[in-house]
Amino acid sequence: MQRDHSHIIQGQDVWVPTVCGGCYNACGILVHRVGGKVVEAKGDPNAPNSLGRICAKGLARPLDLYTTKRVLRPMKRTNPVKGLGEDPRWQEISWDEALDTIVARLDRIRKDDPRKLIISHFDIPGYKISTAFARAFGTNNFHWNRACYCGSASHPVWLITNGTLNSEVDFERCRYIILWGTQLGHMVNTIALSASSELATARREGAKLVVVDPFCSVAASKADEWVPVKPGTDGALALAMLHVLVSELGIFDAAFIRDRTNGPYLIGPDGRYVRDPASRKPLIMDLSDRVAKPFDAAGLAQPAIEGEYTVGGTQCKPSFQLLKDHIAAIDLEEMARVCTIPLAQIRRITRDFGEAASIGATIDIGGHTLPLRPAGIDYKRGAAAHRGGFNSCWAIHLLNMLVGAVDVPGGQRGVNPLGPTWQPGVSDDGLIIPSDIITKYNKPYPGSTVAVPTTLDLHELFPASLFTRGLYPWGIDEPEKFGITYRPEAMIHGRTNLMLNSHDGRAMAETLKKIDFQVSIGLVADETTELADIMLPDAHDFERWDMFPVNDPYAFVAPGMGSWYWLMRQAVVEPAGEAKPWTEIYIEIARRLGILEDLYEVGNTLFGLGAQHKLEKGRDYSVREIAERQAKTMFGESWSFDRIKETSAAITRDKTLEEAFPKAFLKSRAPIYLEYLLDHKDKVAATVDKLGLEWDLLPYSPVPLWIPCEAHEPDAEYDLIATNSKLPTHQFSITSENLWIDEIASKNPYSYNIMVHTSTAQKRGLVTGDTVCVQSRYGEYRGQLKVTELVHPETVMCCGSFGHRARGMPISQKKGVSHNELLPPPCLKRIDTLSGQIDMCVAVKISKA
Amino acid sequence: MKRYGMVIDLKKCVGCNACTVACKSEHNTPGGILFTSVLDKEMGKFPDVIRVFVPILCNHCEQPSCADVCPSKATYRREDGIVMIDYDLCMGCAACVEHCPYHARDLVGDPRTVLMHEGRERVFERPVHRRIPERVAAKCDFCFFRVERGEEPACAALCPTGARIFGDLNDPNSAASMVIRELSGWTLLPEKGTEPRVYYVGQ
């Protein structure tokens, strides 16, 4: 660390290029330092992801450096009693005492069973360090964090079709945009600055925007049409739209389905591919000679996507025909009743979407003629965070797929499945598999091996998921139920406030109390830190270097045309007090534990270091030095961070047309029928059977199903559904201790208040300004009521993740509420057993407090 | 002669409040004082309802009623159209605060900035072009010091969606003039006769 600080750009009055840490988006910024103090931030005009723009969160970020409750020295707990609201009675200690205590404990655990350590950090560029530490230590239990916020159920859909982790829409060419449970392009979600700028221009130029959300969010307010779906019924609406699109209107892109999907693959009575007996390849019926041929056969002239055939004595249908039959059987009126959207509106939106897709249209770009499908749907947590999350997302995505609006100009698109050093692979069945650089966790397709869990997030029971991070509390609370033979003993935690971001704090406190020794690294002491034994002072993002690049291309390089750009985070000032970057703390712990060389060994692969730049045994490297090696691997030996004085971004080259619109170029197909799930289903069934576990195998369906949430069960007492929405001014709880952001949120009626519809309030005799109590069967929150027309009448809405109560967070204390307080720990009826997604909607009642 | 003004495209604005914080940062305004903010109003009945986001700031009126009522001539209009307050002359009588039809002015009580809500402890201080003293009227000054060095006001420079366009309204070819002309710009409360130089388009 010490030697890193000699690299800080010198001067009394300078602008230092770096990368914002106000959310995960990694926008290039310039930070103004005067007389050793940071005084302001602005967008970096040379960084392609900001172009001089910046958001409220980034502008306010300098304040967090100087907040009075910032922890500046290591501390130890002196109150042995742990629990909700219990004062840790912190006592400041030296770094040596803190590290000696930590290392002694971790050393003992490592020799006993390293899996007893849990690593719980949320920091995208730093993940590589905590992952390398965890692997070197020998624990599989890492990345317990705010998974319930993320798209556990939506990411797998993009991974199996777009071949990448995240999704977006080609706002530049799209003329009919549906945002479904997401506010992409409204200073919320990924690629915030460029997506918001592009979508603003699209709106100005007449693109139609439709937003599906139970709350009239910022995005819904900017839309031409708000579709106020009842919380958690997104799947029902999507199935209804599929029925209208395919069965009523007969709109589908036959050529796309035939050439780019597994739509022509023949499916037997068992629901599985009919395979060529010799090559085991899935067969396609060639209508030109009525012969079934392997999907990649050279002579395949006229693949059938419809009809019914007999091949080798087996009755079979192309998978598109099966899907079509399934869609035809959807009870349209019932689905409309469930989602509470009038049938006429469903029909109109579907027709508009289907017609806007302009099936058959083409566009000439860069000398190539590509399909043009100017209609696209993006979707995320609002649609995904439900019991039937994967099925709902799959139904929504099939709307994109069936009109061919996937990774072609105008439509929905995956974020950079193809890049300078990576490309998606192809399975033996001809389907797309994301590259390793893009998917660092499980690849939902082909999927992983099912086993009795040995990891506390239970991911071994979720072969077709991306990750199951939200399930840690289940594994910790009931290990014996899942055949887990050890108990966690220690945790290192930081930048993820488990007490507030998961479920009822009382239940979470009980779970955390089972982990005897906890180390928390942070800027301020949050609710989770209050349960820790040792707190270590973290550096602010203006006080550290980071792994390179800070913007992982799976989400943080804008998709489509444009350039490849790579951002570097560098320190603007030295860490305040005795703070140290959390990444450096992990390296120091590894050094003292004697596992630094193991960390290097894992890191040499994980950090993508070239042969010339591998970390060598017996040497010490700072994060800056590791990052420089990463950059040299990418740009060559002559490259140096010391050259980065003007801009945070290194731009390598323009994207190729193939990288921008891969679907027209890639050989692989994407599935429209999820045959692969059937094998996983059988294996999960066998394993849960062995464990004697009650389980839900319904989500493992090759065609999308409507799976209701627990909150949809008839309940006379808890007669409303609570959910929450995101604000453009806030990100997680990164921003909740910021005075400027708090000032804006306090003045805005839709930030800290609890919201119900006028009719809902009237029935209960409630008025704006009332202090109300919202109760589920699992927990409650209290706050100020705002009566509004902006929410679905069956809904209780709040925004963000507030309701702080930690002593170390005085600005945000008692401001707003935390929706998560209403939720129970993960349990069978409140998770998607396919994706591991946690259901975020919950039945509640509301009354005057 | 230049006549500075701004046009705000409500079709583009997403109410993200980057402008609000940019302004706070640029002027280091006291706690509770916002020279610009974004109105967030709901209009209509479910389900035909929206929130309308309207960024508001001093309108830099051609006929500023705030200047008319100022007893000490602290409020004045520069030749380039920017309406200013001379803090040395301002007595803090708040006549202008009451007379501004747009509620664009505040009377500064405690001038300290970025304070903890309870301890009133200063956590952050930014060097600014001019300090805001105690008991004066304060408001947007179109970041005149930035404009003088050829930059846009902070709110316009940073707007993530490019919704705020600043420029010389006397120049028919300025981006601001063209947007106002082509998209039929309108002003707030034209009946007040103040002739605002902040225009809106869209919505």
- Tens of pLDDT, residue by residue over A325-369, are 999 999 999 999 999 999 999 999 999 999 999 999 999 998 999
Collect all residues of chain B within an 8 Å Cβ-Cβ radius of residue A793. 46
Query: Is B41 in the A-facing interface, judged by CB distances under 8 Å?
Result: no
pLDDT in tens, A91-107: 999 999 999 999 999 99
Instruction: Please report the pLDDT score of residue A5 as a whole number.
Output: 84
Query: Is B160 in the A-facing interface, judged by CB distances under 8 Å?
Result: yes
Query: Is B16 in the A-facing interface, judged by CB distances under 8 Å?
Result: yes
- How is residue A545 written in tokens? 């270097």
What's the per-residue H, E or C state across B82-148?
CEEECCCCCCCCCHHHHHCCCCCCEECCCCCCCECCCCCCECCCCCCCCCCCCCCEECCCCCHHHHH
Query: Is B29 in the A-facing interface, judged by CB distances under 8 Å?
Result: no
Share of chain B above pLDDT 90, in %: 84
Query: Is B51 in the A-facing interface, judged by CB distances under 8 Å?
Result: yes
Average pLDDT over residues A415-420: 97
H or E element at residue A130: helix A127-137
Three-state secondary-structure class, residue B193: coil
Closest CA in chain A for residue B117: A811
Average per-residue pLDDT for chain A: 96
Instruction: Please report the pLDDT score of residue A597 as a whole number.
Output: 98
Residues A526, A531, A537, A542, Cα dihedral to 10°: -30
- Mutate: best of A69, A213, A740, partner B, most B CBs <10 A: A740
In a domain, A489, yes or no: yes
Q: How far apart are the first and last CA of chain B?
A: 32
A798 Cβ partners below 8 Å, 6+ apart? A722, A724, A725, A753, A754, A755, A781, A783, A816, A817, A819
User: What residues does A19 pair with on adjacent strands?
Assistant: A28
Collect all residues of chain B within an 8 Å Cβ-Cβ radius of residue A218. 14-16, 51, 53
- Statement: residue B113 has pLDDT above 80: no
In a domain, A664, yes or no: no
Instruction: Please report the pLDDT score of residue A626 as a whole number.
Output: 97
Cβ contact A592:A584 at 8 Å = no
CA diameter of chain A: 83
Average pLDDT over residues A180-198: 96
Chain B residues 80-119 within an 8 A CB cutoff of chain A: 114-119
Q: Cβ A196–B25 below 8 Å, yes or no?
A: no
Q: Which long-range contacts (CB under 8 A, 24 or more apart) does A608-611 make?
A: A608/A437, A608/A633, A609/A633
Query: Is A31 in the B-facing interface, judged by CB distances under 8 Å?
Result: no
Average pLDDT over residues A732-744: 90
Query: Is A813 in the B-facing interface, judged by CB distances under 8 Å?
Result: no
- Statement: residue B129 has pLDDT above 80: no
- Statement: residue A439 has pLDDT above 70: yes
Query: Is A741 in the B-facing interface, judged by CB distances under 8 Å?
Result: yes
Question: In angstroms, what separates the C-alpha of A187 from chain B's closest C-alpha?
Answer: 7
The interface predicted TM-score (ipTM) is 0.96
- Statement: residue B166 has pLDDT above 60: yes
Cβ contact A76:A506 at 8 Å = no
Query: Is A790 in the B-facing interface, judged by CB distances under 8 Å?
Result: yes
Query: Is A14 in the B-facing interface, judged by CB distances under 8 Å?
Result: no
Instruction: Please report the pLDDT score of residue A641 as a whole number.
Output: 83
Cβ contact A45:A646 at 8 Å = no
pLDDT in tens, A618-662: 999 999 999 999 999 999 998 888 777 899 999 999 999 999 999
Q: Are residues A554 and A635 in the same domain?
A: yes
Average pLDDT over residues A457-472: 96
Nearest 5°: the CA angle A63, A68, A71 is 105
Query: Is A739 in the B-facing interface, judged by CB distances under 8 Å?
Result: yes
Spatial distance between the Cα atoms of A211 and A335, rounded to a whole number of angstroms: 19
Phi, psi of A431 (to 5 degrees): -100, 155
In a domain, A589, yes or no: yes
Cβ contact A8:A573 at 8 Å = yes
Spatial distance between the Cα atoms of A305 and A294, rounded to a whole number of angstroms: 14
Domain count, chain A: 3
Query: Is B157 in the A-facing interface, judged by CB distances under 8 Å?
Result: yes
Q: Are residues A531 and A556 in the same domain?
A: no
Among A537, A562, A579, residue at a domain's last position: A537
Q: Are residues A597 and A720 in the same domain?
A: no
Collect all residues of chain B within an 8 Å Cβ-Cβ radius of residue A786. none
Q: Please spell the DSSP secondary structure of A479-525, one letter per residue.
A: GGGGT------EEEEES--HHHHSS-HHHHHHHHHTS-EEEEEESS-
Domain count, chain B: 1
pLDDT in tens, B4-25: 999 999 999 999 999 999 999 9
Q: Are residues A62 and A90 in the same domain?
A: no
Among A617, A633, A655, residue at a domain's last position: A655
Three-state secondary-structure class, residue B28: coil
Q: Which long-range contacts (CB under 8 A, 24 or more apart) does A244-250 make?
A: A244/A332, A244/A346, A244/A347, A244/A350, A244/A351, A245/A350, A245/A353, A245/A354, A245/A399, A245/A402, A245/A403, A246/A324, A246/A327, A246/A328, A246/A402, A247/A324, A247/A327, A247/A328, A247/A330, A248/A347, A249/A350, A249/A351, A249/A354
Q: How many residues in chain A?
A: 849
pLDDT in tens, A658-715: 999 999 899 999 999 999 999 999 999 999 999 999 999 999 999 999 999 999 999 9
Spatial distance between the Cα atoms of B115 and A720, rounded to a whole number of angstroms: 40
Least CB–CB distance from A739: residue in B12, B17, B114? B114
Three-state secondary-structure class, residue A460: helix
Closest CA in chain B for residue A34: B127
Share of chain A above pLDDT 70, in %: 99
Closest CA in chain A for residue B202: A204
Neighbour-count burial for B35-47, b at 16+ CB within 10 Å, e otherwise: bbbbebebeeebb
Q: Are residues A495 and A619 in the same domain?
A: no
Q: Are residues A632 and A573 in the same domain?
A: yes
User: What single-letter amino acid sits at B52?
Assistant: V
Least CB–CB distance from A56: residue in B13, B21, B32? B21
Which one, of B29, B85, B197, lies nearest residue B95 by Cα?
B85
Instruction: Please report the pLDDT score of residue B163 as a whole number.
Output: 98
Collect all residues of chain A within an 8 Å Cβ-Cβ radius of residue B158. 42-43, 52-54, 59
CA diameter of chain B: 52
Q: Cβ A788–B42 below 8 Å, yes or no?
A: yes
Query: Is A225 in the B-facing interface, judged by CB distances under 8 Å?
Result: no
- Statement: residue B36 has pLDDT above 60: yes
Number of DSSP helices (H) and strands (E) in chain B, helices first:
6, 9
- Statement: residue B121 has pLDDT above 80: no
Average pLDDT over residues A55-77: 94
Share of chain A above pLDDT 90, in %: 94
Spatial distance between the Cα atoms of A52 and A54, rounded to a whole number of angstroms: 7
H or E element at residue B65: helix B65-69
- Statement: residue B203 has pLDDT above 80: no
Collect all residues of chain A within an 8 Å Cβ-Cβ radius of residue B117. 739, 742, 810-811
Closest CA in chain B for residue A221: B50
Three-state secondary-structure class, residue A97: helix
- How is residue B43 written in tokens? 């209009």
- Statement: residue B116 has pLDDT above 70: no
In a domain, A146, yes or no: no
Closest CA in chain B for residue A726: B16
Average pLDDT over residues B134-148: 96
Q: Cβ B31–A748 below 8 Å, yes or no?
A: no
Q: Which domain holds residue A102?
A: 75-135+447-537
B202 Cβ partners below 8 Å, 6+ apart? A204, B9, B10, B11, B12, B183
Q: Cβ B50–A221 below 8 Å, yes or no?
A: yes
Closest CA in chain B for residue A197: B161
Q: Are residues A570 and A533 in the same domain?
A: no
A425, with CB counted inside 10 A (0-12, 13-18, 19+), is middle
Among A626, A655, A684, residue at a domain's last position: A655
Q: Please spell the DSSP secondary structure of A644-677, one letter per residue.
A: -SS-SEEEEEEPPHHHHSGGGT-S-BB-SS-THH
CATH of the domain at B68: 3.30.70.20
Eight-state DSSP code of residue A419? B
Chain A residues 753-782 within an 8 A CB cutoff of chain B: 757-758
Q: How confident is the model at residue A441 (pLDDT cuts 50, 70, 90)?
A: confident
Spatial distance between the Cα atoms of A450 and A680, rounded to a whole number of angstroms: 8
Q: How many residues in chain B?
A: 203
Least CB–CB distance from A757: residue in B17, B18, B46? B46
Collect all residues of chain B within an 8 Å Cβ-Cβ radius of residue A739. 31, 114-117, 123-124
- How is residue A101 written in tokens? 């205590």
- How is residue B120 written in tokens? 């009133």
Neighbour-count burial for A663-697, b at 16+ CB within 10 Å, e otherwise: bbebebbbbbbbbbbbbbbebbeebbeebeeeebe
CATH of the domain at A752: 2.40.40.20
Average pLDDT over residues A542-564: 95
Query: Is A70 in the B-facing interface, judged by CB distances under 8 Å?
Result: no
Collect all residues of chain B within an 8 Å Cβ-Cβ radius of residue A194. none
Spatial distance between the Cα atoms of A614 and A597, rounded to a whole number of angstroms: 12
Collect all residues of chain A within an 8 Å Cβ-Cβ radius of residue B119. 68
Instruction: Please report the pLDDT score of residue A440 as a whole number.
Output: 83
- Statement: residue A125 has pLDDT above 70: yes
Q: Are residues A509 and A593 in the same domain?
A: no
- Statement: residue B57 has pLDDT above 70: yes
Least CB–CB distance from A53: residue in B49, B114, B160? B160
Name the residue with tokens 């225009």. B199
A343, with CB counted inside 10 A (0-12, 13-18, 19+), is middle
Three-state secondary-structure class, residue A133: helix
Query: Is A345 in the B-facing interface, judged by CB distances under 8 Å?
Result: no
Spatial distance between the Cα atoms of A184 and A726, rounded to a whole number of angstroms: 11
In a domain, A815, yes or no: yes
pTM of the model: 0.97
- Statement: residue A488 has pLDDT above 90: yes
Spatial distance between the Cα atoms of A622 and A618, rounded to a whole number of angstroms: 13
pLDDT in tens, A554-602: 999 999 999 999 999 999 999 999 999 999 999 999 999 999 999 999 9
Eight-state DSSP code of residue A264? T
- Report, in angstroms and rounded to the nearest whole number, the Rg of chain B calculated over CA atoms: 17
Q: Cβ B162–A197 below 8 Å, yes or no?
A: yes
User: What residues does A537 pair with on adjacent strands?
Assistant: A522
Closest CA in chain A for residue B11: A204
Q: How confident is the model at residue B40 (pLDDT cuts 50, 70, 90)?
A: very high
Query: Is B129 in the A-facing interface, judged by CB distances under 8 Å?
Result: no
Size of interface A-B (CB pairs under 8 A): 156
- How is residue A457 written in tokens? 């997030």
- How is residue B124 written in tokens? 């952050």
User: What residues does B50 pair with on adjacent strands?
Assistant: B43
In a domain, A406, yes or no: no
In a domain, A158, yes or no: no
Which one, of A845, A750, A757, A755, lies nearest residue A793 by Cα?
A757
CATH of the domain at A79: 3.40.50.740
- How is residue B192 written in tokens? 């007040």
Instruction: Please report the pLDDT score of residue B124 as a whole number.
Output: 62
Q: Are residues A559 and A608 in the same domain?
A: yes
Q: Which long-range contacts (CB under 8 A, 24 or more apart) does A628-632 make?
A: A628/A548, A630/A547, A630/A548, A630/A549, A631/A548, A631/A549, A631/A566, A631/A568
Q: Are residues A761 and A842 in the same domain?
A: yes
Q: Are residues A621 and A744 in the same domain?
A: no
Query: Is A204 in the B-facing interface, judged by CB distances under 8 Å?
Result: yes
Q: Which domain holds residue B47?
A: 4-201
Spatial distance between the Cα atoms of B8 and B23, rounded to a whole number of angstroms: 16
Q: Please spell the DSSP secondary structure of A33-68, one letter per residue.
A: EETTEEEEEEE-TTSTTTTT---HHHHHHHHHHS-T
Q: Are residues A645 and A593 in the same domain?
A: yes
